[in-house]
Amino acid sequence: MSFYSKISHPQYDAVAFLKTVSLFTNLQKDDLADIAKRVTRHPYPSGVTLFHQDTPGTLLYMLEEGRVRVFGVGITGQEHTLNTFGPGEIFGELSILDGKPRSASAMTMTPSVIWMLSKTDFDYFLEKCFAFSKTLMILLAERIRTTASHVEAIIFQDVQGRLAYELLHLSEKHGNRTPEGILIEIPLTQNDLAAMVGATRESVNKAFVYLRGQNLVQVDGTQITVLDSEGLSAVMFQRGR
């Protein structure tokens, strides 16, 4: 069996997994069991592209383990990270809702386990189950708010402020508290962060020098620890334009 083949094994409890995904937490037992029969489970190593920008969207993705980056690519080839996802989150829903091509690409940032639901089955439950539809609307509203905050940070902050904002966001979403601070549990290079904040690697490096000099963050290779969240918040507000 190929590494990318569908996994079918009794030890994988689809119902138990679906209960960890907010989109399905309000579903009745029978509806949950019905969806569980239709999802498939796939393991992926780090660095695998799950789908490409401008291609048809036929699957909803649900993350069991790992981290995934969703990013857009401009006409010059420059990437901009739009979002990152961790366990229990869904992604890829927009194109299966409106039938238009993918607005971005998605790639695994770490070894990941991903469940998938086809557009046909997604549309079936969208019409059949009000709880499913309502929860999806709430999730989309939350995503719009997050996107609006991100756009505001990009527009009204300089690079230091944008980097502070992004590190705070990542520490809240993917952070693990340690004795030193909040460890961001995804490997991040300065190129990765440049794609997130919409800046060059050189300007991100200069911003990092400042943040490290203020003892706000600690960097060990691709591992970043936020030492002072309040200090980063202060930088974000001070650097606003």
Q: Where are the domains of the chain?
A: 14-153, 157-238
Beta bridge partners of 226: 182, 217
Contact 67, 110 (CB under 8 A): yes
Beta bridge partners of 224: 184, 219
Give the mean model confidence (pLDDT) for residues 83-99.
Answer: 93
Q: How far apart are CA 35 and CA 121, in angstroms?
A: 8
Give the model's pLDDT for residue 240.
61
**What band does 236 get if pLDDT is binned at 50, 70 and 90?**
confident
Q: How far apart are CA 146 and CA 156, in angstroms?
A: 15
**What band does 78 get if pLDDT is binned at 50, 70 and 90?**
confident
Question: In this structure, which topology does domain 14-153 adopt according to CATH?
Answer: Jelly Rolls (2.60.120)
Relative to beta strand 68-73, strand 40-44 is unpaired
User: Is the pLDDT confidence value at 70 over 90?
Assistant: yes
- SS3 of 79, please? strand
User: Is the pLDDT confidence value at 7 over 50?
Assistant: no
Q: How far apart are CA 226 and CA 188, in angstroms?
A: 13
User: Is the pLDDT confidence value at 154 over 80?
Assistant: no
Q: Give the side-chain half-sphere CA count within 13 A for 19.
A: 8
Q: How far apart are CA 89 and CA 180, in angstroms?
A: 27
Q: What is the CA radius of gyration of the chain?
A: 19
Supply angle C-alpha 50, 54, 58, rounded to 5: 55
**What band does 11 get if pLDDT is binned at 50, 70 and 90?**
low
Q: What is the reported pTM?
A: 0.83
Question: In this structure, which topology does domain 157-238 adopt according to CATH?
Answer: Arc Repressor Mutant, subunit A (1.10.10)
